[in-house]
Amino acid sequence: LPHFAFACELARTGKLGKLTRVYAHPRGMKSLMSGWQPPQEEPDKEVVDWDMYLGPAAWRPYNANLLDGFNFEKGGGFVAGDVRTERVGGGVLEWGSHCVDLCQWAVDDCPPPVEYHPPKDGELTARYENGVELVFREEGWIPLGSCPVRFEGESGWVEAGDSGKIVLSSPELLAGRTVAEIGGYPATFHVRDFLDCVKTRGVTKGNAAAAANAHIACHAANIAIFLNRTVKYDPKTHEFIGDEEANRLRSEALREPWRL
């Protein structure tokens, strides 16, 4: 969406001054902190093959809420990294990547943060190597739809959400233009970018490395939540520094007969 691209461009080009903090607002961060549900009688396999649904995740009792898609308040969800494991990731893993990837873009596509602190007062703070903070927060300050992001610099701030709206600390940041005109990012940006890269064999803006870094940040944040303490991550080795307990949580044993 063009307003997201514009917000990232403001951060990347110094229009907000020196960037200090980027906010990701994953929905359901609180309501999905625990995904364990009381056992219920399993339906026939023709209705739900529960064993197959669990796949490689650790076995857990059947509960219809776990099939209930986006019904977060009931603990519902369908992502293996979420409610089908004991280390449930809540909105951090379910929604996090949708806004963290934008934060990564705003911080100039750098590697994921190197330090993650457990939640305090509803916010989980991580720190990039360059000192910029990434803050996971339940909601934005302004009602701009789901998965909003906010970028703060020493000279200004910008907040945008998937409603298509954007709010700026100063109208001067628009420089007399409309959001759709800013930076050459039309609403079809990702489609056009992909088609152009098919022709040029270039790398898309939304590429695999960018997606991986966003997901790494979310999983590292979730490990800090699970351990309830600070963890330090090395983006070069993909390991937590001097932390065997955290490193064991980077992967889980696959349930038989699944293999990777």
Query: Comparing C-alpha atoms, which of 151, 135, 96 is closest to residue 159?
Result: 151
- Contacts of residues 68-77 at CB distance under 8 Å and 24 or more positions apart, as own/partner, are 72/27, 72/28, 72/31, 72/32, 73/31, 75/31, 75/32, 75/34, 75/35, 75/36, 75/37, 77/32, 77/35
- Which pLDDT score is estimated for 187? 56
The model's pTM: 0.83
- Which pLDDT score is estimated for 215? 94
In a domain, 55, yes or no: no
In a domain, 83, yes or no: no
174-202: average pLDDT: 75
In a domain, 256, yes or no: no
Q: How confident is the model at residue 121 (pLDDT cuts 50, 70, 90)?
A: confident
- Which pLDDT score is estimated for 30? 57
101-116: average pLDDT: 94
79 pLDDT above the threshold of 50 = no
In a domain, 238, yes or no: yes
Query: Comparing C-alpha atoms, which of 99, 140, 102, 100 is closest to residue 116?
Result: 100
In a domain, 159, yes or no: yes
- Which pLDDT score is estimated for 182? 56
Domain that holds residue 218: 2-30+92-248
CATH number of the domain encompassing residue 129: 3.30.360.10
What are the residues whose beta carbons fall under 8 Å from the beta carbon of 246, sequence distance 6 or more?
Answer: 223, 227, 231, 240
- Which pLDDT score is estimated for 178? 67
Total number of domains constituting the chain: 1
In a domain, 70, yes or no: no
- Which pLDDT score is estimated for 179? 61
236-245: average pLDDT: 97
Q: How confident is the model at residue 212 (pLDDT cuts 50, 70, 90)?
A: very high
Q: How confident is the model at residue 80 (pLDDT cuts 50, 70, 90)?
A: very low
Per-residue pLDDT of 220-231, as tens digits, reads 999 998 899 999
In a domain, 15, yes or no: yes
- Mean pLDDT (the chain) is 84
Ranges of H-type helices in 64-169: 90-94, 96-106
In a domain, 118, yes or no: yes
